[in-house]
Structure 1
Amino acid sequence: MLILHLSDIHFRKQEVGTVQDPNFHLRHELVLDVVEQCDRLGPPDAIVISGDIAFAGDPDEFAFATNWLRDLCTACGCPTSAVFVVPGNHDVVRSSADHNLVQMVHDSIKRSGNPAAEIAKQLRDPEACNLLYRSLDNYNQFAGQFFCNLLPPERTRAKRDLKMNDGSTLRLWGLNTSFVSSSRDARGSLFVDTASMQIPRESGVINLVIAHHHLSWLAQAQARELEDHLNHVACLQMFGHVHTNRVDMNRDYVRLTASAANPDRHEQGWEPGYNLVELSIQTGATGRTLDVKAHVRVWQTGPDGFYAKRDRMGVDHFAHTLTLGNWHPPAAASVSHAQPPSTIESEAIPVEEGDAMDTLRELGLRFYRLSFSKKSEIAGRLELLEEDDMRLPDHERFRLIIIRAHERGQLDALRDAIYSAEQG
């Protein structure tokens, strides 16, 4: 399995799509390098973005990101449905997060002697819950096309399952470290909710946790608790935000921190980059192991280009082997080692077959690109909306339309309606 890990792309509304965009050349070269590496390693099975897709959480920034990601996926030979995203602080609309009422909720969490309990209390209050998440509305509209949108209090993390080469599961967990983010952010001032501490270990499942903020940006006590939890349950961890690439290899886990794809050119240590991570399970006389190869690609100038960061021995990747628990696939679920990995599940969607889940994501991507009026017309005509849906944000209503079409056997009708709307 190959995972492309990007972070901190920072699409700026006033720059992207203009001839004055200072990062056009950098992004163009990144795509060329990804294509070259994928020609050698194979197409990605997942494109993981650990936050800061936008720069100011603006809808136009997310629209540009959607088109750029579609072009990237086409170039490196994977479907756009392979994209998996989590929110970062730049995906937050600061004017919303800085509002007095929102800051009152933030302060009640930051000043609490028990932040986890206070967060849970605020999430149980519908008005406070809405205040905590409304600055991520634009992000959620964008993330909805990948079935990664969040709806508190029950869905405050994104989840997706991928099939590994031995038939076991790689489970992606996308955490939200940005719901208390605002212009007042400082190291040690951010939080996760209790759901982030409830990631289970399961036989035949490898947990990969993705979050935007490095642990050092969380409140100290919670950072320690989350780190201990992740080190116990997730042998693979990916972070962004700090704009510095790091590969930490421990007996029990591999932790990757990504360079920014588009760091601020004036920041100290400017070094754009991205990661490609190869995963493969081996089964032998001594048991099951997970082989990890992290290809860290960093930008240099004069000559321009992305090059491999090397380990101390001069090797162009960082290799590590993790010991896994014994697991044997059920007889009916046995797969060939030659079979490519595939997407098989997404949280809160009652689909187990890989092809069915892929179908939902492909339809979701097409549905997302339609205008609001066309989406509403299709939902009404196919009777896929219910009265209670009117209380939900747009991104969640449109997500439910896709899910209900699957549950009610209306996917073909929905597909025909989407295609017809695209032509019209």
Structure 2
Amino acid sequence: MLILHISDIHFKRGEAGSAMDPNHHLRARLVQDAKNQCAKLQAVPDAILVSGDIAYSGHPDEYAFAQTWFEELCDAVGCDLSKIFVIPGNHDVQRDVAKKPMVQAAHNDIKGTEAHLLTGKLSGYLNDEDNGKQLYGPLENYNGFAGTYLCSLSPPDRTKLDRLYTLNDGSKLRITGLNSAFVSSHADDVGKLFVDPASFTLTDEYGVSHLVFCHHPYNWLANGQELADHLGDVAHVHLFGHEHTNRIELNRDWVRVAASAAHPDRTERGWEPGYNFLELSVSQQNGERRLDVTAHVRIWQHRPGQFVAKTDKGGEDFFFQSIRLDAWEPPVEQPTGNNGVEPADQADVHESTVTEEDASMTSLRSLSIKFSKLTFSKKLEIAGKLELFEETDKKLPDYERFRQVLLRARERGLLDAFEAEIQTAQSSAETTNKKD
């Protein structure tokens, strides 16, 4: 399995895409380098993980540019936009909303809570509808963007995100994205941010390896040591962003990668743009299952300017660690039923707390991306025509309302009809544009 990891892109309104965009050349070289690396590795990314700070100030224009650039990147590396998996960072927070007195009062209440009472405090806020909306209000624009990829967040039940992939031996890799930005504002400081109690529900699962990515490293989190201890027990790969300094730690039981920023501020000391590729596979060594992790760390070199490999002390242009896994045997194949679908596959197509990487969810993300490009009125028209709205949707934000529309279309067996309506709308829009 090949993973492309990017962090801290910081698309800035009025700058990204402008005639004097200072990062245009850097982005173009990153896209070309990623394309070249995929060719060298003879693989296409199975997932593109973006660990926060997609925008600079959480403005819709910044996310509009991000969508365009993601399309360019995916086209270059040969994968579909549905492979993108995003989590928020502090720059994805709308600071003007986070500065409001009621939001700051909630932040200060959480920050002032003693460590042994913190889980209860956070649970109390996130389980209360009004308080949950207040904490997540500054992420509204981010959620509108992330919803395109079915990555929007909503307390209390969707404060972390999961996708499940199949590794080369048939076992699973669960990728979990954590939100460390829901108590973020202008007052951020080291040790003053949080992950919520759902982050500690990851556990050992038979035949499952874990990769976790989060924007803020442990030292920025008030409950960071607790999280480090927990993930050290259950997760094999930990990815972070935020600090713009590349580091890689190879432990017996895990690999931790802190990403360089794709767009660090040019005034930063030690300005070093970068991104990462990770190869994951399961091998057998002396009768043991091992998760082999190969990290290709790409950093910007000056004079001549280009992305190059960061090397380890042995001179290799990659970092490698083989992590022991628990014993696992693939399940015995079950006989197919009259409909030709195995019972296990039937279970995968239902919505649950875990998003399986099955054909159903991949298709749903692809439809979501196409649907997001339609006008608001056209989205309403399609949802109304297929009777996918319900009374409870009226109080939901748009990104959540249309997420529910997509899920209902799948539950009711209407995905083909839904896709046909999208295609008709796209064709109509193209015809109108040609006439204009």
Q: Which residue of 2 aligns with 1:224?
A: 225
Contact 1:295/1:308 (8 A) holds in 2: yes
Q: Which amino acid aligns with 2:427?
A: Q
Q: Which amino acid aligns with 1:155?
A: R
Are positions 1:357 and 2:361 aligned together?
Answer: yes
In structure 1, C-alpha distance between the alignment counterparts of 2:186 and 2:350, rounded to whole Å: 33
The C-alpha deviation readout for 1:333-355, integer Å capped at 9, x for no partner, is 8xxxxxxxxxx889747875722
**1:267 positional shift:** 0.7
In structure 2, C-alpha distance between the alignment counterparts of 1:353 and 1:160, rounded to whole Å: 6
Q: Which residue of 1 aligns with 2:426?
A: 422
Contact 1:147/1:346 (8 A) holds in 2: no
The C-alpha deviation readout for 1:192-227, integer Å capped at 9, x for no partner, is 1100011121011111111000111011xx111111
Contact 1:212/1:241 (8 A) holds in 2: yes
Q: Which residue of 2 aligns with 1:267?
A: 268
Are positions 1:153 and 2:156 aligned together?
Answer: yes
Q: Which residue of 2 aligns with 1:34?
A: 34
* Structure 1: runs of 5 or more not aligned: 334-343
Are positions 1:310 and 2:311 aligned together?
Answer: yes
Contact 2:103/2:135 (8 A) holds in 1: yes
* Structure 2: runs of 5 or more not aligned: 335-347, 429-436
Q: Which amino acid aligns with 1:46?
A: A
In structure 2, C-alpha distance between the alignment counterparts of 1:164 and 1:151, rounded to whole Å: 29
1:345–1:17 distance in 2 versus 1, CA, 3 Å? farther
In structure 1, C-alpha distance between the alignment counterparts of 2:171 and 2:372, rounded to whole Å: 31
Q: Which residue of 2 aligns with 1:17?
A: 17
SS at match of 1:186: coil
Contact 1:281/1:291 (8 A) holds in 2: yes
Q: Which amino acid aligns with 2:304?
A: P
The C-alpha deviation readout for 1:226-267, integer Å capped at 9, x for no partner, is 111110110111000000111111111101110000000001
1:284–1:356 distance in 2 versus 1, CA, 3 Å? same
SS at match of 1:360: helix
Correspondent of 2:213 among 210, 213, 218: 210
Contact 2:162/2:355 (8 A) holds in 1: no
**1:89 positional shift:** 0.2
- RMSD of equivalent CA atoms: 1.6
In structure 2, C-alpha distance between the alignment counterparts of 1:65 and 1:137, rounded to whole Å: 16
Counterpart mapping for 1:21-420 below 5 A: 21-41=21-41, 42-113=43-114, 114-219=117-222, 222-332=223-333, 348=352, 354-420=358-424
Q: Which amino acid aligns with 1:133?
A: Y
Contact 1:148/1:159 (8 A) holds in 2: no
**1:122 positional shift:** 1.1
**1:331 positional shift:** 2.6
In structure 2, C-alpha distance between the alignment counterparts of 1:168 and 1:391, rounded to whole Å: 41
1:346–1:311 distance in 2 versus 1, CA, 3 Å? farther
Contact 1:345/1:351 (8 A) holds in 2: no
**1:284 positional shift:** 4.4
Contact 1:162/1:345 (8 A) holds in 2: no
The range that moved more, 10-19 or 113-122, is 113-122
In structure 2, C-alpha distance between the alignment counterparts of 1:376 and 1:16, rounded to whole Å: 31
In structure 1, C-alpha distance between the alignment counterparts of 2:186 and 2:372, rounded to whole Å: 30
In structure 2, C-alpha distance between the alignment counterparts of 1:345 and 1:260, rounded to whole Å: 37
Contact 2:127/2:156 (8 A) holds in 1: yes
SS at match of 2:422: helix
**1:150 positional shift:** 0.6
Q: Which amino acid aligns with 1:125?
A: D
The C-alpha deviation readout for 1:126-164, integer Å capped at 9, x for no partner, is 211111001101111111111111110111001111111
Q: Which amino acid aligns with 1:392?
A: L
In structure 1, C-alpha distance between the alignment counterparts of 2:133 and 2:180, rounded to whole Å: 16
Q: Which amino acid aligns with 2:378?
A: K
In structure 2, C-alpha distance between the alignment counterparts of 1:351 and 1:7, rounded to whole Å: 23
Q: Which amino acid aligns with 2:330?
A: P
SS at match of 2:149: coil
1:77–1:235 distance in 2 versus 1, CA, 3 Å? same
The C-alpha deviation readout for 1:42-94, integer Å capped at 9, x for no partner, is 11111000000000001111111011101111110111100011100000000
Task: Give the number of equivalent residue pairs.
Answer: 413
Q: Given the two structures, how large is their TM-score scaled by the length of structure 1? A: 0.95
In structure 2, C-alpha distance between the alignment counterparts of 1:84 and 1:121, rounded to whole Å: 28
Contact 1:159/1:347 (8 A) holds in 2: no
Q: Which amino acid aligns with 1:202?
A: E
SS at match of 1:161: strand
Contact 2:219/2:225 (8 A) holds in 1: no
SS at match of 1:16: coil
Contact 1:349/1:403 (8 A) holds in 2: no
The C-alpha deviation readout for 1:19-48, integer Å capped at 9, x for no partner, is 100000000000000000000111111100
Q: Given the two structures, how large is their TM-score scaled by the length of structure 2? A: 0.92
SS at match of 2:294: strand
**1:332 positional shift:** 2.3
Q: Which residue of 1 aligns with 2:2?
A: 2
1:345–1:38 distance in 2 versus 1, CA, 3 Å? farther
**1:387 positional shift:** 0.4
In structure 2, C-alpha distance between the alignment counterparts of 1:419 and 1:351, rounded to whole Å: 26
